[in-house]
Amino acid sequence: MVRPVNSLTVAALVALLPGLVAAQSWTDQPVDPSEHQEEVAVDYEDEGRYYTADDVPTYNIAEDGTVDWLTFSGFRRYHAECHVCHGPDGEGSTYAPKIKNSAVLMDYYDFYDTVVNGRANGNSVMPHFGDNPNVMCYLDDIYVYLKARGMDAVARGRPAKKAAKSEMIQEAENACMG
Amino acid sequence: MKKLFAWTSVLAISAIGAASANEALMSEIDNPDQWAIQTGDYQNQRYSALDQINKDNVGDLQVAWTFSTGVLRGHEGSPLVIGDMMYVHTPFPNIVYALDLADEGRIKWRYEPKQDPNVIPVMCCDTVNRGVAYANGKIFLHQADTKVVALDAESGEVLWEAQNGDASKGETNTATVLPVKDKIIVGISGGEFGVRGSVTAYNMETGEQEWRAYSMGPDEDILVDPENTTHLGEPVGENSGTNTWEGDQWMIGGGTTWGWYSYDPEADLVYYGTGNPSTWNPAQRPGDNRWSMTIMARDPDDGMAKWFYQMTPHDEWDYDGINEMILTDQEIDGEERKLLTHFDRNGLGYTLDRISGELLVAEKFDPAVNWTTGVDMDPESDTYGRPEVVAQYSTEQNGEDVNSTGICPAALGTKDQQPAAYSPKTELFYVPTNHVCMDYEPFRVSYTAGQPYVGATLAMYPAPESHGGMGNFIAWDNIAGEIKWSIPEQFSVWSGALATAGDVVFYGTLEGYLKAVDSETGEELYKFKTPSGIIGNVMTYTHEGKQYVGILSGVGGWAGIGLAAGLTNPNDGLGAVGGYAALSDYTALGGQLTVFALPD
């Protein structure tokens, strides 16, 4: 039962970290990937989507560097919807924090909630994307991509090799985008 | 005596109200002791007749005084100086400070508007603001939330307010306003949110809306006369703002108007450019998408368009056409011509006849530009005035879900809004540029009001096989269409330049340097590192007979977002990642004005 304890600790830490909410500096809370390996480990696959033992979406990188479809798709969607504030590759900017680290340090459900509802701290404001299909239909994609970035599991830039898009992922996308 | 006279004249103008030509305002702008308009003058030349600081003594420049704005985020634009007063603005929350230069810069008044912070995240790329304007004893502030406010220049008291747009639909503002005659000309931002761009005129005295000209839509919306408004000498015809769009896409068509505005009092025409058509996925908007990406000449009295020139029909790369239009009178082939010179995001430097809209020159102002082989200059040709697109770099021809690689310039353009300067002494333009290329992959997106509407992924990196830096500062001959000299810079040059009669050109760098170079040769004469990266514009003025040079520091904007963590080139393969300089290794946030002078 190490996992739930960790999760709670992380959630509590997140609430206290000014760097994550205030976005006042370029120096966000760093991530040490070795401390988070258990939280991102793949437990099972469901037609091209990968999950942890807690049913949280996660990335899957093959030994030859091939990334799962969601990680690749997340790279694309991130660089359309998010990078104009959070900078290339989740690396942060003069304007907004290193969101690649937030994806590791924040609980999945908190991350999801922040994207859906937004949040504000003085003049630092994260918008709400809950009614934006270009974000909501790809939120797991963006999440696992950023988590892979925060864990240094994928390098900066466009992933060179990607797994094919499964039929189930395509069907879900069609249904969501309308 | 001079001080007293300046204030008397300001009061007199307020009392009389605006004359139709507003000669009082023009004489304020023409006075080189002041910096009465963001663009230096109506022509947008950013040239000062002051020559106390010159190429022989600029090396002795020292910091005279500094002022912290109290705001982080990107500081674009510059202060104004009118009489003994300096007006300094900030990014969101858009504070205005009135500093009394006769009293050691004491804050005479300050104004901080109340704005809904929800406007912050709908501003693409930082909460910058390019400064206040002055006319008739009033300071005009165009806030982030698109409220236009007229303040009493002496007291800071609010005289009128007008709401230009709706931030909940993604309509925001970053630009200054242009005071012309008895009106204030106002633009709008939000091309990445599906906003339909427009330019609006408000009465200078009352704030009442007088006219609005959209960039696309029916003729009555875009204020054209189908017979008399021309495009490259031909009438635009009926429905020109809808007939190059499919369906109702023009209603969320972009073409926003967030750049600089210039004015020719003799021709009585206002000039500006329109931005990218939305979305960034060209497959979702077949056609030329008129009048996005267009240089526009309009009558300031009623907004009626005299001529248009669409530079990038059916944009495929986000090359907004909003950069400044610099007006000059120069000789070509022995004939005196009234010219308009424009350095577009698409990497082409255009020279046009500003009365007729005739295209005279269109040449690359960065040799790296590769998306086009050039513009068809043959008036008899079917494709006259159109750029020839190179298929390899066409995101339209390569199609949705295909990553087009190695396109130069990147979406931020060979030059963004950072304004160039012109010296009538050298007849050269001094242009801050980006030297960055990109990969661009368009894909399908759906529109939701007030939400980003982008539809492309892109990766940017320094121009390959060049000096490795991300910028150049160049001198350009607008008649020959040639680069005269080019100074390589490590980062994009995101600061507005200033040319002076002292044969010096000033500009700022993203590391934070204010630099002075020889206007003939480009030789560096002086540099000083200010507290933060510079994306503001250099200005100059005289106080009690002494010349000063002022610059706002405060890194941010598109440059701060794109370059903070450094760029990577995915085509370089593994190992090269992180090989390019990260701006965050050189500078940090902080808004400050630094004012320079020669030692006594």
What per-residue confidence (pLDDT) applies to A5?
A: 38
Q: How many CA atoms lie within 13 A of B184 on its CB side?
A: 32
pTM as predicted? 0.91
- Check pLDDT > 50 for residue A178: yes
List the single residue in B117, B125, B569 with the smallest CB-CB distance to A123: B117
Contact between chains at A132 and B452 (C-beta distance less than 8 A): yes
- Check pLDDT > 90 for residue A57: yes
Query: Average per-residue pLDDT in chain B?
Result: 93
- The counts of H helices and E strands in chain A are 10, 5
- Check pLDDT > 60 for residue B587: yes
Residues of B marked as catalytic: 318
Q: Which two tokens stand for residue B129?
A: 């603001």
CATH ID of B2-597, from 3.30.450.30, 3.40.50.300, 2.140.10.10, 2.60.40.10: 2.140.10.10
Contact between chains at A95 and B451 (C-beta distance less than 8 A): no
Q: Residue length, chain A?
A: 178
The answer to whether B168 faces chain A, any CB pair under 8 Å, is no
**Angle at which helices A69-81 and A139-150 pack, to 10 degrees?**
100
String of DSSP letters for B65-113 = EEEE-S--S---S--EEETTEEEEE-STTT-EEEEEGGGTTEEEEEE--
Number of A to B CB contacts under 8 A, please give it: 133
Q: Which residues pair with B508 in a beta bridge?
A: B514
Task: Find the residue in B nearest to A80 (Cα).
Answer: B457
**In this predicted model, what pLDDT tens digit does every residue of B164-218 receive, in sequence order?**
999 999 999 999 999 999 999 999 999 989 999 999 999 999 999 999 999 999 9
Integer Cα distance of B461 and B415 in angstroms: 15
Mean pLDDT value across residues B125-150: 96
Residue in this structure with the two tokens 């310039």, named with its chain if needed? B409
Min mean pLDDT across A13-17, B254-258, B469-473 is at: A13-17
Radius of gyration over alpha carbons of chain A, in Å? 15
The answer to whether B560 faces chain A, any CB pair under 8 Å, is yes
The answer to whether B591 faces chain A, any CB pair under 8 Å, is no
CB-CB neighbors (< 8 A) of A88 in chain B: 459-460, 562, 565, 567-568
Contact between chains at A93 and B565 (C-beta distance less than 8 A): yes
A interface test, pick of B95, B189, B441, B451 with most A CB neighbours within 10 Å: B451
**In this predicted model, what pLDDT tens digit does every residue of B264-277 receive, in sequence order?**
999 999 999 999 99
- Residue B521 counted as an annotated binding residue: no
- The counts of H helices and E strands in chain B are 5, 40
CA distance A37 to chain B (A): 23
Q: Which two tokens stand for residue B280?
A: 């960034």
Classify the C-alpha dihedral B427-B431-B437-B440 as positive or negative: negative
**In this predicted model, what pLDDT tens digit does every residue of B447-480 receive, in sequence order?**
999 888 999 998 888 999 999 899 999 999 999 9
Range from B440-444, B538-542, B573-577 that averages highest in pLDDT: B538-542
DSSP B577: T
Contact B208, B202 (CB under 8 A): yes
Integer Cα distance of B77 and B79 in angstroms: 7
Contact B161, B230 (CB under 8 A): no
Alpha helices in A24-166 (DSSP H): 37-40, 69-81, 83-86, 99-105, 108-117, 133-136, 139-150
**In this predicted model, what pLDDT tens digit does every residue of B54-95 receive, in sequence order?**
999 999 999 999 999 999 999 999 999 999 999 999 999 999
Q: How many CB atoms lie within 10 A of CB B63?
A: 12
Integer Cα distance of B442 and B451 in angstroms: 18
- Check pLDDT > 70 for residue A2: no
DSSP A127: P
Which pLDDT band, with edges at 50, 70 and 90, does B228 fall under? very high
Cα B46 to Cα B37, B334, B498, B538, distances in angstroms = 10, 26, 5, 9
Contact B18, B183 (CB under 8 A): no
The answer to whether B567 faces chain A, any CB pair under 8 Å, is yes
Cα A174 to Cα A63, A169, B396, B406, distances in angstroms = 31, 9, 23, 31
Cα B17 to Cα B136, B158, B206, distances in angstroms = 7, 17, 11
Instruction: Report the SS3 class of residue B390.
Output: coil
Domain residue ranges in chain B: 2-597
Mean pLDDT value across residues B539-547: 98
Q: Which residues pair with B372 in a beta bridge?
A: B389
Contact between chains at A133 and B565 (C-beta distance less than 8 A): no
Integer Cα distance of B375 and B364 in angstroms: 10
Integer Cα distance of B91 and B127 in angstroms: 6
The strand pair at B230-231 and B305-310 is best described as: parallel
* Residues whose CB falls within 8 Å of the CB of residue B440, separated by 6 or more in sequence, listed in order: B316, B317, B395, B403, B404, B407, B411, B456, B457, B458
**In this predicted model, what pLDDT tens digit does every residue of A103-150 receive, in sequence order?**
999 999 999 999 999 988 777 888 999 999 999 999 999 999 999 999
List the single residue in B192, B452, B561 with the smallest CB-CB distance to A95: B561
- Residue B174 counted as an annotated binding residue: yes
Contact between chains at B560 and A134 (C-beta distance less than 8 A): no
Chain A 123-142, residues with CB within 8 Å of chain B CB atoms? 123-127, 129, 131-135
Query: For the complex shown, is ipTM > 0.85?
Result: no
Which pLDDT band, with edges at 50, 70 and 90, does B297 fall under? very high
B interface test, pick of A73, A95, A98 with most B CB neighbours within 10 Å: A95
Cα B310 to Cα B200, B276, B325, B375, distances in angstroms = 20, 11, 14, 12
**In this predicted model, what pLDDT tens digit does every residue of A65-75 receive, in sequence order?**
999 999 999 99
Mean pLDDT value across residues B243-249: 96
Min mean pLDDT across A104-108, B119-123, B485-489, B503-507 is at: B119-123
